[in-house]
C-alpha cells in the first residue's frame, strides 16, 4: 500500500528514516549519553560498536583481502562509488568499482585474494549475477549487499548483508540507495575496526553520527513543500547539469539519473572540477546547474565552480549545509541540509534530489512509479 501517499516513490522517499533504523538495528550500537544512562534508558549500551555476523564469520578472508572490487548497475553502482571511498578510508584496502556489464565481458584480472562486493536492490540483475559467477570461477570471495531476501544474487554470494529496507516498488530506486550506503558504511567501519585501520576516535564519532542520521533525514524531509515549489520552475528545462565533489560526486550522478528516468529531462552528473574540461560550454541561461555543495573539505573549490557557472548566466540550485551564508549570495535557489560528517553527507544530500526529480515529474504529469521503457528488475542483459 502507498500508505496515504500518491505514489510509491514518494512513500519510499519518506520511508527512509524508518527503514534506515531497521537497517541498522542489531548492527549499530551507539553509546548512550550519561544522562540517558542515569535515567535508566538504554543502560545496556556501554560502548560504540558495529556488529556484522558476515564480517565476524569471514574475518580472515576479509581481513587478508588485497583488493576489493565492487560490481553493480545503475543506482547500486553509484552507491558503490561511495563504498569505495568508505572502504579505502577506513580499511586501507584499494577498491575498484565496475559496472557489472563491463566487468563480465572484459576478461578482468581477478585474484583469489580479491573480495568482490556485489550490490543489488532486486538481487536479480542479470549482469550483476553473471559478474558474480565469473568472480567465483576465479576463486574470489563474493560478498553481497542485497535487498531482496532469498533472491538469486543473495543465494549466489558466499556471504553478505541484507539491506533490510523493505520491498521497493517504485521503479526509481530511493530507499535502497540510502540503505546500500548505510550497509557500506557499517561494513567499512566494522572491518576497519577489526583491522585496526580506523582510530578509536573516528570509529566512535562515525557511529554516534550514523545513529542520528535518520533524525536528520526527517529534518530534510520537512523541505518537501519548498522543493515542490522550486520544482515548478524547472519543468521547462530540457537539460540539467548536476555537480558535486568528493563524497557528493556520486550523489550528483544519482540525482541526474533520478531526473532522467522519471522526469525525462536530460541530466548529466559530473565531478564539479571536470566542468571546465568540457561541459561548461553548455552553460547558458537555459541550462540549470545543480550543485551539491555541503560545507566540507572541498567547499571553497566548489564555490569557485559555482561562480564560473554564474558568470555564464547559468541558473543555480545548491544543496548546502544549514547556516551557510556564502552560497546563498551566489545561487538562485538553496536547499539546506543539517550538518554532518563528510562521509555521511550523501545520506542527506540525496534526499532533496530524489524529491526534486519526483516533483518535476509530477508537475509534468508523468507516471512516476512506472516510467516508460524501464523495468524494476533488469533480468535481461
Ligand atoms: C535507478 C534504478 C536502476 C537500478 C539498476 C540496478 O533508479 O533503479 O538503475 O539501480 O537497474 O538494479 P539492482 O540494484 O536491483 O541490481
Please tell me the distance between residue 233's alpha carbon and the centre of ligand 1 in angstroms. 28
Please tell me the distance between residue 220's alpha carbon and the centre of ligand 1 in angstroms. 24
Mean pLDDT of the residues in the chain: 95
- 3-state SS track over 338-358: CCCCHHHHHHHHHHHHHHHHH
Please provide residue 293's backbone torsions phi and psi, each rounded to the nearest 5 degrees: -135, 60
- Per-residue pLDDT band at 371 (split at 50, 70, 90): confident
Query: Which atom, in ligand 1's list, is nearest to the CA of 74?
Result: 9
ipTM (interface pTM) = 0.99
- Cell (9 digits) for 343: 562521509
pLDDT at position 279 is 87
Distance from C-alpha of 377 to C-alpha of 3, rounded to nearest angstrom: 23
Distance from C-alpha of 82 to C-alpha of 183, rounded to nearest angstrom: 11
Q: Answer for the pair 3, 11: CB distance below 8 angstroms, yes or no.
A: yes
> How long is the chain?
381
Q: Answer for the pair 178, 20: CB distance below 8 angstroms, yes or no.
A: yes
DSSP string covering 140-175, please?
-EEEEEESSTT-HHHHHSSEEEE-------SSS--H
The question of whether 376 is a catalytic residue gets the answer yes
Distance from C-alpha of 56 to C-alpha of 82, rounded to nearest angstrom: 23
Give rounded-to-5 percent helix, strand, coil for the chain.
50, 15, 35
Q: Reply yes or no on whether the pLDDT at 373 is more than 60.
A: yes
Query: Which atom, in ligand 1's list, is nearest to the CA of 377?
Result: 15
Q: Quote the distance between the C-alpha of residue 109 and its chain's center.
A: 27
The SS3 assignment for 239 reads strand
Please provide residue 116's backbone torsions phi and psi, each rounded to the nearest 5 degrees: -100, 125
pLDDT at position 378 is 82
- Cell (9 digits) for 153: 544474487
Decide: 128 in ligand 1 pocket, CB within 6 A.
yes
Decide: 16 in ligand 1 pocket, CB within 6 A.
no
Q: What is the pLDDT of residues 316-354, one digit of tens each?
A: 999 999 999 999 999 999 999 999 999 999 999 999 999
Q: Reply yes or no on whether the pLDDT at 116 is more than 70.
A: yes
Distance from C-alpha of 215 to C-alpha of 217, rounded to nearest angstrom: 5
Give the active site residue among 195, 301, 310, 376. 376
Q: What is the pLDDT of residues 242-294, one digit of tens each?
A: 999 999 999 999 999 999 999 999 999 999 999 989 888 889 888 899 999 99
Buried b (16+ CB within 10 A) or exposed e, 199-237: eeebbbebbebbbebbebbeebbebbeebbebbeebeeb
Residues near 238 by beta carbon (within 8 Å), at least 6 away in sequence? 265, 266, 286
Distance from C-alpha of 218 to C-alpha of 213, rounded to nearest angstrom: 9
Pocket test for ligand 1, best of 74, 83, 377, 378 (most atoms within 8 A of CB): 74
Of 215, 207, 191, 189, residue with least CA distance to 20: 215
Query: CB under 8 Å, gap of 24 or more: what pairs does 199-202 form?
Result: 202/90
Distance from C-alpha of 151 to C-alpha of 120, rounded to nearest angstrom: 10
- Per-residue pLDDT band at 140 (split at 50, 70, 90): very high
Decide: 74 in ligand 1 pocket, CB within 6 A.
yes
Q: Answer for the pair 29, 47: CB distance below 8 angstroms, yes or no.
A: yes
Read off the pLDDT of each residue in 154-179 and give the average, rounded to a whole number: 97
- Cell (9 digits) for 190: 566494522
User: Considering only 140-144, 248-252, 367-371, 373-377, which range has the smallest mean pLDDT?
Assistant: 373-377
Please tell me the distance between residue 197's alpha carbon and the centre of ligand 1 in angstroms. 32
Query: Which atom, in ligand 1's list, is nearest to the CA of 128?
Result: 16
Please tell me the distance between residue 74's alpha carbon and the centre of ligand 1 in angstroms. 5
How many other C-beta atoms are found inside a 10 Å radius of the C-beta of residue 21? 16
What's the whole-model pTM score? 0.96
Amino acid at each position: 500500500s502507498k500508505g496515504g501517499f500518491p505514489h510509491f516513490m514518494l512513500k519510499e522517499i519518506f520511508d527512509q528514516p524508518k527503514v534506515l533504523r531497521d537497517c541498522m538495528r542489531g548492527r549499530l550500537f551507539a553509546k548512550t549519553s550519561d544522562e540517558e544512562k542515569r535515567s535508566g534508558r538504554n543502560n545496556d549500551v556501554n560502548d560504540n560498536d558495529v556488529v556484522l555476523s558476515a564480517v565476524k564469520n569471514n574475518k580472515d578472508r576479509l581481513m587478508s583481502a588485497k583488493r576489493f572490487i565492487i560490481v553493480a548497475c545503475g543506482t547500486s553502482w553509484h552507491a558503490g562509488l561511495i563504498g569505495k571511498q568508505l572502504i579505502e578510508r577506513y580499511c586501507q584496502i584499494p577498491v575498484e568499482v565496475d559496472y557489472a556489464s563491463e566487468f563480465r565481458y572484459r576478461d578482468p584480472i581477478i585474484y583469489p585474494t580479491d573480495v568482490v562486493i556485489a550490490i543489488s536492490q532486486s538481487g536479480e540483475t542479470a549482469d550483476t549475477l553473471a559478474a558474480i559467477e565469473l568472480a567465483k570461477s576465479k576463486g574470489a570471495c563474493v560478498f553481497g549487499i542485497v535487498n531482496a531476501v532469498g533472491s538469486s544474487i543473495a543465494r549466489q554470494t558466499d556471504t553478505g548483508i541484507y539491506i533490510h529496507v523493505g520491498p521497493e516498488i517504485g521503479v526509481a530506486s530511493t530507499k535502497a540507495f540510502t540503505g546500500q550506503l548505510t550497509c557500506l558504511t557499517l561494513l567499512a567501519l566494522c572491518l576497519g575496526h577489526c583491522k585496526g585501520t580506523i582510530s578509536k576516535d573516528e570509529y566512535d564519532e562515525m557511529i554516534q553520527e550514523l545513529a542520528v542520521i535518520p533524525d536528520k533525514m526527517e529534518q530534510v524531509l520537512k523541505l518537501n513543500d519548498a522543493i515542490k515549489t522550486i520544482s515548478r520552475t524547472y519543468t521547462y528545462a530540457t537539460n540539467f547539469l548536476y555537480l558535486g565533489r568528493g563524497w557528493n560526486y556520486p550523489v550528483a550522478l544519482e540525482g541526474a539519473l533520478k531526473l532522467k528516468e522519471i522526469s525525462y529531462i536530460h541530466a548529466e552528473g559530473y565531478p564539479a572540477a571536470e566542468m571546465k574540461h568540457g561541459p561548461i560550454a553548455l552553460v547558458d541561461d537555459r541550462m540549470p546547474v545543480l550543485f551539491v555543495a555541503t560545507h566540507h573539505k572541498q567547499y571553497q573549490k566548489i564555490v569557485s565552480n559555482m561562480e564560473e557557472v554564474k558568470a555564464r548566466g547559468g541558473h543555480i540550485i545548491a544543496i548546502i549545509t544549514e547556516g551557510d551564508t556564502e552560497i546563498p549570495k551566489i545561487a538562485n535557489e538553496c536547499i539546506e541540509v543539517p550538518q554532518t560528517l563528510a562521509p555521511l553527507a550523501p545520506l542527506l544530500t540525496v534526499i532533496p534530489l530524489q524529491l526534486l526529480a519526483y516533483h518535476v515529474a509530477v508537475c509534468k504529469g508523468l507516471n512516476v512509479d512506472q516510467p516508460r521503457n524501464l523495468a524494476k528488475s533488469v533480468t535481461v542483459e
